[in-house]
Amino acid sequence: MEPSLFREKPASPPTSPAPPGGERPPPSGTRTWGAGGQPPNPASTPRSLHLHRQEREAFFSLLEDDVVREFLSTDVCCRISDKYLLAMALTYFKRAGLPTSEYTRINLFTALYLANDMEEDEEERKYQIFPWALGRRWRRLFPRFLRRRDRLWARMSYRAAVSRHCCEEVMAAEPWHWAWRRERPPHHSGAARPYGRDPGDPGPPRPPTCLRCARPAPPRGRLRGAPKLASRPPR
């Protein structure tokens, strides 16, 4: 059964975001803050994230899911699922008040997609999450997935920004876990923003094509029916 947090509400459907290729969570002017009509009070927002042991264990158990492990193994350079993005996903679970029974595969992919929305500049790379989250019918289902993302964002009172300090605090609780060793190579770090550049300016020198990204990940016994990564969703 689909978690109650993410059930469709036909009577008042959420506003769909722009088509992939440039979608971002809706701008601040379109936010609805709930029944009170007021944004959350920043003074009431805790500075530290207090994760219970059961919550950490449920999240780590979710990372051991066969499909999740297969997905992570294909992201060989950790460009859409490095340790900071995973820590952000766990932070979202906590901020949204999800019970551990809702620490599920689809909710993890939703949180990870939102984390990429917030932190990553390469729009198309995060689309690789769609087939893993939605299966072979992902081209038909991805608009629903984006609405799911918006509902998670609303459940957190739109607090999707996560500081580096917060991520490191999450990781410090159990620093030996393998998820926190998912380091992104230095040549994939830093911002890559093409907008605002003079057409005649080639920009800063870029590293050569990454050979690890260019070749398929080593086989890990792909699950029967597991989706292959897609380059981008249809427009």
Q: Which residues contact 20 (CB under 8 A, 6 or more apart)?
A: 123, 127, 142, 146, 232, 233, 235
DSSP-derived secondary structure letter, 75: -
Query: What is the reported pLDDT for 186?
Result: 76
Q: Are 31 and 158 in contact (CB under 8 A)?
A: yes
Residues 213 and 77: their CA atoms lie apart, in Å, by 7
Query: What is the reported pLDDT for 204?
Result: 46
The alpha helices in 97-201, defined as continuous H runs, are 105-119, 129-134, 138-155, 164-172
Q: Are 21 and 123 in contact (CB under 8 A)?
A: yes
- Any idea how long the chain is? 235
Nearest Cα to Cα of residue 109 among 134, 87, 91, 84: 134
Query: What is the reported pLDDT for 49?
Result: 79
Mean pLDDT of 111-123: 92
Query: What is the reported pLDDT for 190?
Result: 55
Residues 118 and 162: their CA atoms lie apart, in Å, by 9
What single letter denotes the amino acid at residue 133? A
Nearest Cα to Cα of residue 146 among 26, 40, 3, 4: 26
Nearest Cα to Cα of residue 9 among 105, 182, 148, 163: 148
pLDDT-derived band at 124, boundaries 50, 70, 90: confident
Query: What is the reported pLDDT for 69?
Result: 96
Q: Indicate whether 96 pLDDT > 80.
A: yes
Percent of the chain with pLDDT over 70: 59
Q: Are 105 and 140 in contact (CB under 8 A)?
A: no
Whole-Å CA distances, 216 to 7, 38, 74, 181: 36, 48, 7, 21
**pTM assigned to the model:** 0.67
Residues 33 and 22: their CA atoms lie apart, in Å, by 24
Mean model confidence pLDDT for the chain? 75
Residues 96 and 90: their CA atoms lie apart, in Å, by 10
Q: What is the pLDDT of residues 49-82, one digit of tens each?
A: 789 999 999 999 999 999 999 999 999 999 999 9
Q: Indicate whether 215 pLDDT > 80.
A: no
Q: What is the pLDDT of residues 125-152, one digit of tens each?
A: 899 999 999 999 999 999 999 999 999 9
Which has more confidence, 49 or 232?
A: 49
Q: What is the pLDDT of residues 17-44, one digit of tens each?
A: 444 444 455 444 434 334 444 444 443 4
Residue 70 DSSP SS3: helix
